Structure 1
Amino acid sequence: MKKSHLLIAGLLLSSPVFAQKNYLEEPKSAKTQRMQWWHDDTFGMFIHWGLYAVPAGTYNGKDGGAEWIMETHKIPTPEYEKYAAQFNPVKFDAKKWLSIAKDAGAKYIVFTSKHHDGFSMWDSQVTNYDIMDATPFKRDIIKELADACKAAGIKFGLYHSIMDWHHPNANPKLKPAEKPDFAKYRETYLKPQLAELIKKYNPDILWFDGEWISEWTEDQGKDLYNYLRALKPSLVINNRISKARGGMEGMNKYENAAGDFGTPEQEILKTNSQDYWESCMTINNNWGFVKNDQNWKSGETLINNLVDVAAKGGNYLLNVGPTAEGEIPAPSVERLAEMGKWLKLNKQAIYGTNSLTNYKEGDHIRFTQSKDGKTTYAIFNQQDNNELKLSTIQPKVGSKIYMLGVKEPLAWSNTNGTVVVKLPATLPGQYAWVLKIQAENRNSR
């Protein structure tokens, strides 16, 4: 058995857990600097993968549940554990996954190190319930992904569940011989595993979930936030480490909560925000792989979502759910490739931009602004008779307006504040197009 009290004590005592610095009191300027790369990157790829890919949304002939299938069908722990013996993803190729992410234009990934089912997707020294000891695969998936990210120049993030249906001290339903002791789980299992992940794989992001359980408190979230930032001060950590998330909209219900950014789930904020935020969404209906889920969002919808998120000052974390064999489903790959093709042409309107106070005009025009404030991008997905009319943005007198993907400047006029831009007869690319404007008003957020 790997699990030992000596190892756990070593992980805890070798970490600067007794440091007096309170990272929750970080100056705004320091946080801005720490978060800058994350804000500039704008687009990331979420990856939900674990033992739940084996049943693929079906248990005993009944559909329902993906990564939640253990809870959805009330699968007993010993029975669920049997999926580990069936998990042998021989087609897994970290470099191929990162190639798909890079071709899509994703600048960072967030991978599920441990979901609610409690299974560890790395070679953990804290438990035997992990990829190396409990499956026939016996390869450290997280190490391979971390190495592939580094080689591809993509930032590496890890999702980690606070709740754990497998651990007897984290799940009262298991009725262990002794009374469940969540504090013991937190100090001798949760924290040591997180310390292990930081030390072994050096993630840039930690993305928590499962914080809604009654055993978790804001004080525990603040303690964990400081513990993790002490291990790696540059870490970016989501607000689900705290108790502040207000429903699926994901933004903080109160001030001074632990965590660096809000987490809207399966939705986009109704308007822009001065706070950091990231909208996480699926490409079909589920996070984990479900063989019967063929309800795929179109490439056009995904691109419009990305544009809307960027215009409102947020990040877009788009999920894929690989199969038990280790492949990202072809429909996901196809749609990600469409996004990558669009971004290759229009990337300067998305990455490293800021939101404007007036971030939209009507339903079909969104605006972003370059960091230096000199350029406003008008991103539109509809136009009439090869013209685009704008009233929110006023170009500088005598300036030139360009369309990304078109070499020559476009003709434009301004009559009583209504700007009319003549568009090319044939628009480059598809789904949405971008005008590059030197605008008078620089009201970025």
Structure 2
Amino acid sequence: MRSRALAVILVLLSGLLWAQPARAEVEHPRQKWMRDSTAGLFLHWGMFTAPRHLDCAAWERDVTGGGWTADYWVDEARKLGASYIVLATFHSRLGYARPWPSKIPGSCATERDLLGELVAAGKAKDVRIILYMTDDPQWHSEQGVQTLDSAAYSAYKGRQVDLTTRDGFGMYSYDLFFEVMENYADLAGFWIDNDNAYWEQNKLYEQIRERRPSWLLSNNNEDTPIMDTVSNEQKTGMTPSYDYPQAAWTPMPRLVEADYKLPTTGQWWYDGGNHPVDTRLSTGRYITNAGSSMKSLMAETPMVNGRFPPQQEAFNDFMAGWVPPIRSSLYGTEGGGYMYGGMQPGFWNDGAHGVVTVEPGARTQYVHVVTRPRTDHVRLRDNGYWVTRVSDLRTGRSLRFHQSAGHLTILGVTDWDPYDTVFKVETAGQRFYHDKIRATAPELVDGNFSTYWDNKGQLPISTTLDLGHRRALTSLAVNQREWSPTYARESFGRPEDSARVKDYRVYLSSDGKIWGKPVRTGALPSARGVQFIDLGEQRARYVKLEVLNTWGGPQAPRYHRQLQIDEIKVAYAHPFSVGPAAPLEAEHADRAGGARPDLCRTCSGHLRITGLRHGTLTFDDVTAPEDGTYRLQLDHTSGTDTSVKVAVNGAAPIEVPVKADARDVPVATALAVPLRKGANTIVLSASAAGIDRIAVAPLPPASQVPTTTLTVEPGGLQWAGPGQQAIKVSATLRLDADDQLDQVRLAPAAPQGWTVQGDPATAATLRLGQTLSATWTLTSPPGQDVTPADIPITAAFQVLGRPAQTSKQVRVRPRPADRVWMREAEDSVNQLGSAGITGCGPCSGGQKVRNLGGGPDAYVLFENVSVPSAGTYTLFADYTVNGPRSFFVTVNGGTPVEVRVDGVGNNTPYTTRVPVTLGAGQNTIKIHNDTGSAPDLDRLSLG
């Protein structure tokens, strides 16, 4: 969108996360400088920077005496390639310090105008300054002293104001916004850490727009329509770990930041330690964010004198030399494979992973190989771009390449950068996609990524494309809306999951009435960027895509059964290069007997080898760098179930099953084979399949765990009553990525004395998206009460001949004698609405439910609350809270009862008691607050 940033575009955009804006200023000329940027520098710095200061004047003396200069921060930002600095001193955990002289009393303010000096230094060197503002007063006495002066502010306002309340703090900070706007015209905007109701009621943001129309507004962890930027804070848990965009949930063209700490350990602010910076992780984030049109907002931890700890300075110096040779691929570019065009990012061949950036128009693209393949070539989907030249951006050296069957293969790479090898790919543009297509969902073919097809929760669902008349077609290119993470996760207590296509079917028709059997069935990976459904060589007028299900699970209601697709393109051919061949093409191997070449326009090199029932195909140029076991991939076609015999270096052949698929769409099967150093011979025979190519690479590291999802219910700590108990346990294993699983077995391991009713679930293989499920009844030893037990539910399998497993536990504990019923808030049998589960070490079971209250949809509903007789019981609610809050208890749909609580620290469990009247047998208890924020809930019990 940098190519369009000179236009004034107001986009009507719905479906952004948390809020659904009616008229969001998604694109605006004031954003141009940030859209043109790649990164920013996030600085948390204040009174409580180590060594902490409890007196504002003493802190300022040490800042000045230590030699603080604004130019140092600006220069360090420039080393990182950062175009802006976000200064976080008015921070709830850093003493609410204001680094500027203020006429408004209420918290620490300096006499020296540090903010003004920083703004001036940044302006002189083209680095913009954005001021952080918090909405949160709850940490006002965290250090044992009061950092908010309600009396002074009350005297200033001429009325009583309690700054420790959200309304009072909202009024105080509201005044500060206007003071800053008045005094610092060259500031670039505000970075706002969540909203305050007082600001919203008094139209703060609208007034900022009116007074400072060129300033940007950023909001943390939510999408507010009036804001320019959505910021995503410290996302972790991705595979690979550096691929930060996998956890993002805001679709382009929304301006998005990725906020993350550069120090690997420690706080967001300087805590006294010289913490290391993981160069691999940090550069990977920097590159993958750029490849997704996200801004890297990198947090460093300045000391009291403003300087960074040595390891952070060293990283900045490294970046100052590492980025410039590839600067053209990061500045003035957008993420490739999305709305701006470009080849497909993500996982490539032989363990490779990376992103693509594109110049305006996408004729020139940059392939960033962040994780190099285990071989000397890179193979990725070309998305119809006809490649004319490939070169190494750092060295300028031209590279050989091959293009066919929708793939670009960059050959003979020997000079790999340890963090990002960048290939400049010059193209003649995108070719071979049909135009003038109509669809039952017109948004899919309008070329406009601000409109999209929404299934509105309906599954299965289908859409039909009309090509106008009978035409050739080979594949579909599907751009799904990037409004969800790529995998199930908890983010600040909110459940998230992937709202993307899993299982699909494609039908073809000449008249739109008679469809016949599907020409392709399969599963799409849960991945960002354009995804492809290959159809082989087909002719039809109508194409129907049926989506059977999506990846998102019911634990994340916002994403469950939801689907949004921006665009679908229909290809009728693929670019083809005349230059060097891709390695190990079947048509270049030795044939004997009935083996013969067969035209296959969707195969690599446009040929495959068939006739192996009575013939052989010999690859005698398979080289290995050393003796060992390697991954052999067979790309084959077959319309029926068959097998292929594989013989390596004259050994007895291995029979490899081949599942039926489209008869002229190559699919891959991988196996482990022993190879010796140097040349090896691989012979394929006795098969009805067509062989397109083979590929050989070292095995993935033994430590690499296949990407699976194992769901076990019940989830959460289980409290068992006296006597013998039986627990019903269900489990489902799903393969999310990587090679197929073989010899799969799913079963519980019963503790000593326990019995299991139900057989293990088994499967010969599992492929992408497939599942294996089972249910068992586990019964505790007879004649005694349940004792503590951790029952593992284990999925064991083989991947490329190596054993692996994943496991989850069902944790059982005896209920205390003074309780007649007890259940964790995070138990999977509860309904959570829009609330979510988060870790809590001191809490029972190590988890709690967060984000309760603030609306009618954020609650915990405990169903099947069983008591032996009707009567009044004492409800014990275990919770954590920081400051005064309320929750409501509603029993069996009756009148809600408000319960007011108070506490210090969100990791300190408290207990409150509430009398409740229950009926004999099953009851429901709902914990909620429809108007205000509620405490976090650990568990409920009845005495």
TM-score range, shorter chain: 0.7 to 0.9
Unaligned runs of 5+ in 2: 1-20, 141-146, 152-158, 236-243, 339-343, 432-446, 450-943
Structure 2 counterparts to residues 34-433 of structure 1, below 5 A: 34-55=30-51, 84=59, 87-89=62-64, 90-116=66-92, 117-127=95-105, 129-133=107-111, 139-164=112-137, 165=140, 166-169=147-150, 178=160, 180=162, 186-187=170-171, 189-201=172-184, 202-209=186-193, 211=195, 216=197, 219-220=200-201, 223-240=203-220, 250-252=221-223, 257-267=225-235, 268-270=244-246, 273-274=251-252, 275-284=254-263, 285-292=266-273, 294=275, 296-355=276-335, 356-357=337-338, 358-362=344-348, 364-381=353-370, 382-397=372-387, 399-427=388-416, 430-433=418-421
Whole-Å separation in 2 of the counterparts to 1:230 and 1:80: 37
Give the superposition deviation at 1:123. Answer: 1.7
Give a deviation string over 1:28-68, Cα, whole Å, max 9, x none.
Answer: 58x33222221220201011111111435xx9xxxxxxxxx
After superposition, the Cα gap between the structure-2 partners of 1:120 and 1:180, relative to the gap in structure 1 and judged at 3 Å, is same
Query: Does structure 2 retain, via aligned residues, the 8 Å contact 1:403–1:409?
Result: yes
After superposition, the Cα gap between the structure-2 partners of 1:385 and 1:47, relative to the gap in structure 1 and judged at 3 Å, is same
The amino acid that maps onto 1:377 is Y
Give the superposition deviation at 1:195. Answer: 2.3
Higher helix proportion: 1
Percent identity for Structure 1 against Structure 2: 19
Give a deviation string over 1:373-430, Cα, whole Å, max 9, x none.
Answer: 3222110021344322222455425x11122122232211124333221355334x54
Give a deviation string over 1:360-383, Cα, whole Å, max 9, x none.
Answer: 344612112113332221100213
The amino acid that maps onto 2:318 is E
SS in 2 for 1:400: strand
Give a deviation string over 1:92-147, Cα, whole Å, max 9, x none.
Answer: 121122111112211111112411222211122223854534xxxxx321111111
TM-score normalized with structure 1 length = 0.74
Whole-Å separation in 2 of the counterparts to 1:98 and 1:88: 17
Whole-Å separation in 2 of the counterparts to 1:85 and 1:45: 22
Whole-Å separation in 2 of the counterparts to 1:25 and 1:417: 39
Higher strand proportion: 2
Whole-Å separation in 1 of the counterparts to 2:131 and 2:420: 32
After superposition, the Cα gap between the structure-2 partners of 1:219 and 1:194, relative to the gap in structure 1 and judged at 3 Å, is closer
Give a deviation string over 1:260-296, Cα, whole Å, max 9, x none.
Answer: 22111111342672222111111123211011362x2
Whole-Å separation in 2 of the counterparts to 1:53 and 1:128: 20
Whole-Å separation in 2 of the counterparts to 1:395 and 1:257: 36
After superposition, the Cα gap between the structure-2 partners of 1:423 and 1:193, relative to the gap in structure 1 and judged at 3 Å, is farther
RMSD (Å), alpha carbons: 3.3
The amino acid that maps onto 1:204 is A
Query: Does structure 2 retain, via aligned residues, the 8 Å contact 1:218–1:258?
Result: no
The amino acid that maps onto 1:206 is F
Unaligned runs of 5+ in 1: 1-23, 60-78, 134-138, 171-176, 241-249
After superposition, the Cα gap between the structure-2 partners of 1:185 and 1:257, relative to the gap in structure 1 and judged at 3 Å, is same
SS in 2 for 1:315: strand
Question: Which of 1 and 2 has greater Rg?
Answer: 2
What corresponds to 1:72 in structure 2?
none
SS in 1 for 2:63: coil
Give the superposition deviation at 1:25. Answer: 8.3
Give the superposition deviation at 1:167. Answer: 3.0
Whole-Å separation in 1 of the counterparts to 2:415 and 2:214: 46
SS in 1 for 2:389: coil
Higher RCO (CA < 8 A, seq sep 6+): 1
Query: Does structure 2 retain, via aligned residues, the 8 Å contact 1:359–1:368?
Result: no
Whole-Å separation in 2 of the counterparts to 1:320 and 1:308: 19
Moved more, 384-393 or 318-327: 384-393
Query: Does structure 1 retain, via aligned residues, the 8 Å contact 2:333–2:359?
Result: yes
Give the superposition deviation at 1:210. Answer: 5.2
Query: Does structure 1 retain, via aligned residues, the 8 Å contact 2:25–2:225?
Result: no
Query: Does structure 1 retain, via aligned residues, the 8 Å contact 2:381–2:407?
Result: yes
Moved more, 382-391 or 338-347: 382-391
After superposition, the Cα gap between the structure-2 partners of 1:209 and 1:169, relative to the gap in structure 1 and judged at 3 Å, is farther
After superposition, the Cα gap between the structure-2 partners of 1:85 and 1:94, relative to the gap in structure 1 and judged at 3 Å, is closer
After superposition, the Cα gap between the structure-2 partners of 1:323 and 1:218, relative to the gap in structure 1 and judged at 3 Å, is closer
Query: Does structure 1 retain, via aligned residues, the 8 Å contact 2:219–2:230?
Result: yes
The amino acid that maps onto 2:90 is K
SS in 1 for 2:178: helix
TM-score normalized with structure 2 length = 0.36
Whole-Å separation in 1 of the counterparts to 2:345 and 2:415: 26
SS in 1 for 2:28: helix
Whole-Å separation in 1 of the counterparts to 2:219 and 2:285: 22
Give a deviation string over 1:305-328, Cα, whole Å, max 9, x none.
Answer: 011112222111001111123211
After superposition, the Cα gap between the structure-2 partners of 1:83 and 1:53, relative to the gap in structure 1 and judged at 3 Å, is farther
After superposition, the Cα gap between the structure-2 partners of 1:423 and 1:93, relative to the gap in structure 1 and judged at 3 Å, is farther
After superposition, the Cα gap between the structure-2 partners of 1:309 and 1:237, relative to the gap in structure 1 and judged at 3 Å, is same
The amino acid that maps onto 2:378 is L
What corresponds to 2:425 in structure 1?
437
Query: Does structure 2 retain, via aligned residues, the 8 Å contact 1:205–1:235?
Result: yes
Whole-Å separation in 1 of the counterparts to 2:274 and 2:72: 23
SS in 1 for 2:197: coil
Query: Does structure 2 retain, via aligned residues, the 8 Å contact 1:265–1:281?
Result: yes
Query: Does structure 2 retain, via aligned residues, the 8 Å contact 1:94–1:144?
Result: yes
